[in-house]
Structure 1
Amino acid sequence: MTPEHLSSLIVDVLNGLVADGSITLPDGVPSDVTVERPRQKGHGDYATNVALQLAKKAGSNPRAFAELVKARLEATEGIAAVEVAGPGFLNITVAAGAQGRVAADIVAAGQAYGASDAFAGEKINLEFVSANPTGPIHIGGVRWAAVGDALGRIFTKTGAVVTREYYFNDHGGQIDRFSGSLLAAAKGLPTPEDGYGGQYIHDIAAAVVAERPDALEADEETAQEIFRSVGVDMMFAEIKKSLHDFGVDFDVYFHEDALHKSGAVDRAVARLTELGNTYEKDGAIWLATEKFGDDKDRVIIKSDGQGAYLSGDLAYYLDKRERGFDRCLIMLGADHHGYVGRMMAMCAAFGDTPGTNLEILIGQMVNLLREGQPMRMSKRAGTVVTIDDLVGAIGVDAARYALARYSSDSNIDLDLDLWAKASNDNPVYYVQYAHARVCSILRNGADLGLAPAGEEFDPSLLSHEKEGDLLRALAEFPRVVASAAELREPHRVARYLEDLAGTYHRFYDSCRVLPMGDEEPGALHAARLLLVAATRTVLANGLDLLGVSAPERM
């Protein structure tokens, strides 16, 4: 029995109590109630505080209200016992047969287990990474690649229609500095002041010359434009390949330059003017963001007629909304924290709801440690650690898992020596090994001619304490996925998988799954093998949400 099923049973009980006049709820019966696993053993399989929440509305005291619910709930099929505890908590023990049925339901659902309709029908634009095409993706961008892609998978699992989008910053001074750095490298000159250094600049400069040998013979302006157009494309091709090799691909690559060339900025300014949220001062056009919570108003069109930095953001946000997205999520680095207020004010200025139509997630710093010392520089990039450095050190699976395992609003220190280990000290190895172990048991069972229980499955056979612990852990998976989507926290899935792996190992140590020696295979072996198969399904589904492989052998 899953927490969701139990919640539904309690709602049915409440509806029955209202229908026969036992209780009165002026606001009606809630559509669902909170059901949680108690922290202490001996307090049942699940607990709910529904009586504490509704008793006052019903004109009753919580314990009396809880007793009414208890009496009806105990008479419900699948419920073994209900206890009223403390001021009115309900501790619920589920019958072994009802709990054991979870294993069969999970195996039947397969890859669909954990899915829900929590975000059904919502169109979500998920913008992440969006590194400038002036160098390889550094470790901060890699964090967003792992977290953003995992969040996209989790949103999809909960019913949303997700578009992964990369904002291609190909407009502005950083591109001029990049092309100037390439030209200088091609001519054997020192890196310009404020330019970009590193071996990759020399590599790309050489590649541009190989493709366009006429570049060095052209005048300065023409040469700069050749290195700009060809070099940016080459750099971005490298970025896309690195991300693809990391398991991250985007649905849309949006070019910033297109906003300025298409008239999108003018349309955005016109819309804001129609809404009465712009004004002219000192020859410039200003957006009145202060009245929407910003610390000051912002220039959007400068006195020379050129768009200010914010103008591109206005046009880009409006473009997303016009493309039909209900939610626009943007993932930014820690250095953009001061940027949030003006963006939310901009959202409100368009008549939208900050935090709903526009969300901004800020990711904190990642520090890499090797032999206990910070790893600060890439051999190729020169100044930063890149996505390829990280993958080269610990592999794609460990990198993705490690970066998605922590709350994105916290700084993390990744010990590369730990994450490269093939031992249970390494969290991703621990989870993947649990999956490989269950696959091995299923193969061994097949070799013995024993398959997971089918239609003849007797769920009441799974009555051992450790079987119950594992069944309850497996039943939590849909809730964990829904919570990860609601809170934008993929790390909840990773931590759940580690707990599940531990629960599985404790079950396996206490409950023999396969017959030994001359022992004849029986119904209990088949039932336990079904529980093992259910564990495999949940481990594989959870790892997939993180973009991490689920190996069958290790």
Structure 2
Amino acid sequence: MTPAELSWTVLSTVRRAVAAEELQVAVPEKVVVQRPPRPGCGDYATNVALQLAGQAGRSAYEVAEILAVRLAKEPGIAQVEIAGAGFLNITLSARAYADVVRQVREQGAGYGRGDALAGDAVTVVAEPPGAVRATLVAEAVNALLRAAGAPPGGRRESLSVAEPEPEPEPARQEQPHDPHRLGPDAARWALLRPPAEDAPRPTSALLDQREANPLFRVRYAHSRTRAVLRNAHDLGVRVEAAARDPYRHPAETELLGLIADFPRVVETAARRRAPDRLARHLERLADAYLRFQDECPALPKGDEKPSAVHAARVRLADATGIVLAGGLHLLGISAPDHL
């Protein structure tokens, strides 16, 4: 279940509560669900009860109680808890997580693409024309707009960003703040990763193959997912065997939540003209995968026989790699299988 699907489920729950006269409110056009700010608060949270409380003539907690009872019965939802004044914390079922993995693997590079902006025919152009960073950001924003369904042409929208200021780095012979010295992938990351209003400081550290380099971490995580697939085949893990994937470990559910959130991130980055949002999401996804890799072995060790758990984790690794590659490609950055 993706955030968009969960949002629709919550909205349908509100609609049914209104039809049953449990609530007397105007049904909103959309409901926002978000990842909670800290662990232990479910997989997603929504403040819909607080939004409806005034119309309903009830406290937000009372509205949340009505919705929680109905939501808990929905397929794919394992638990609903009320927090604070009336926030709904929603935990998805293992089956819902398995559906996310299946969707990603079936859709491949198409996962994350949608039609939310289908009615907005727009093309973003750099301002001033020819500015290095503005041109790259405009390219990335246009790719995001197409991924979110916005057709090209129609309205033209100018985009201006803070450009990098070349300056020497102490103890270096070169001027590493010149993005042209970094090569296309590192240069794109250097110019797209900071928010538009922040002047980027491209440095040769983006070429380092070490954990401190966020671009390396993202590409390394992707390459590790491809290595897991290759090794799983060699070890006889039946990756394609049908099974109900038992995703319950916190490292698994954290990773799955970020995968499920990818379509919303693409849409939001397109709406806000902010490819940096996608870059930051890829960092979080890569970090979550590397934790998952350490805590949830996907491959049998020694004399251990391949199991359904191994197969499920290999499928999750595959889905992660698909999303990481898809996100990098939207930014115009390559995703090599080997590093």
TM-score normalised over the length of structure 2: 0.94
- Contact persistence 2:49–2:63 (CA under 8 A): yes
Q: CA deviation at 1:518?
A: 2.2
SS of alignment partner, residue 292 of structure 2? helix
Cα 1:377/1:418, change in 2 over 3 Å: closer
Q: Is 1:119 aligned to residue 117 of structure 2?
A: yes
Alignment of 1:349-498 (within 5 A): 362-372=160-170, 390-391=179-180, 393-414=181-202, 416-454=203-241, 456-459=242-245, 461-498=246-283
Equivalent-residue separation in structure 2 for 1:79 and 1:390 (angstroms) = 47
> Per-residue deviation at 1:118?
1.7
- 1:86 maps to what in 2? 84
The CA deviation at 1:374 is 9.9
Q: How far, CA to CA, are the matches of 2:69 and 2:212 in structure 1? A: 47
State the partner residue of 1:329: 157
Matches within 5 A, 1:59-458: 59-128=57-126, 131=129, 141-163=131-153, 325=154, 327-331=155-159, 362-372=160-170, 390-391=179-180, 393-414=181-202, 416-454=203-241, 456-458=242-244
Is the alpha carbon distance of 1:86 and 1:375 closer, same or farther for their aligned partners in structure 2, counting shifts above 3 Å? farther
Distance in 1 (CA, whole Å) between partners of 2:27 and 2:11 is 7
* 8 Å contact kept, 1:371–1:417: no
- Cα distance change of structure 1 residues 422 and 377 upon mapping to structure 2, 3 Å threshold: closer
Letter aligned with residue 147 of structure 1 = V
Q: C-alpha displacement at 1:375, in angstroms?
A: 9.6
SS of the residue 1:56 aligns to: helix
Q: What is the deviation of 1:162?
A: 2.3
Larger radius of gyration: 1
Structure 2 unmatched ranges of 5 or more: none
How far off its partner does 1:149 sit? Answer: 0.9
Give a deviation string over 1:70-91, Cα, whole Å, max 9, x none.
Answer: 1111122222211112111111
**Corresponding letter in the other structure for 1:329:** E
Task: Tell me what 1:56 maps to.
Answer: 54
Instruction: Give the Cα separation in 2 of the matches to 1:445 and 1:60.
Output: 55
Alignment-mate amino acid for residue 395 of structure 1: G
CA distance in 1, matches of 2:205, 2:34: 34
Q: In the TM superposition, what is the alpha-carbon distance from 1:528 to its structure 2 partner?
A: 0.6
Distance in 1, matches of 2:294 and 2:229, equals 16
Distance 2:39 2:327 in 1: 26
Q: Tell which deviates more after alignment, 36-45 or 66-75.
A: 36-45
- Specify the SS of the correspondent of 2:85: coil
> In 1, Cα distance between the equivalents of 2:222 and 2:238?
18
1:376 Cα deviation after fit: 10
Contact 1:128 1:330 in 2 (8 A): yes
For 2:314, which of 529, 534, 542 is the aligned residue? 529
CA drift of 1:448 comes to 2.0
The alignment's C-alpha RMSD in Å is 2.1
Q: Deviation per CA, 1:236-270: give whole Å up to 9, x if none.
A: xxxxxxxxxxxxxxxxxxxxxxxxxxxxxxxxxxx
Change (3 A) 1:449 1:92: same
Measure the CA separation in 2 of the matches of 1:374 and 1:486: 40
Aligned to 1:41: 39
Change (3 A) 1:373 1:482: farther
Aligned to 2:12: 12
Instruction: Kindly indicate whether the alpha-carbon contact (under 8 Å) linking 1:452 and 1:533 is maintained by their aligned counterparts in 2.
Output: no
Q: Does the residue aligned with 2:152 lie in a helix, a strand or coil?
A: strand
Aligned to 1:538: 323
Which consecutive unaligned segments of at least 5 residues does structure 1 have?
Answer: 132-136, 164-324, 332-361, 379-384
- Tell me: CA distance 1:51–1:24, structure 2 relative to 1, closer, same or farther (3 Å): same
CA apart distance, 1:377 = 8.4
Q: Residue 453 and residue 468 in structure 1: after superposition, are their counterparts in 2 closer, same or farther (change >3 A)?
A: farther
Q: Is the 8 A contact 1:126 1:162 kept in 2?
A: no
Cα separation, 2, equivalents of 1:162 and 1:375: 44
Query: TM-score if structure 1 supplies the norm length?
Result: 0.59
- Cα gap change, 1:34/1:373 in structure 2, threshold over 3 Å: closer, same or farther? farther
Q: Distance in 1 between matches of 2:64 and 2:230?
A: 48
Q: Which amino acid counterpart does residue 54 of structure 1 have in structure 2?
A: L
Q: Distance in 2 between matches of 1:472 and 1:81?
A: 15
- Residue 24 of structure 1 and its aligned partner are, at CA, apart by 1.2
Distance 1:437 1:21, change over 3 A: same
CA contact (8 A) 2:43 2:90 kept: yes
- Shift of residue 98, structure 1, vs aligned partner: 1.5
Q: SS in structure 1 opposite 2:201?
A: strand
Aligned residues: 339
> Take 1:90 and 1:71, find their aligned partners in 2: how far apart are those partners?
11
Residues 103-129 of structure 1, C-alpha deviation per residue, up to 9 Å, x if partnerless? 111111111111121211432132226
- 2:166 touches 2:175 (CA, 8 Å); kept in 1? no
Q: Percent identity?
A: 40
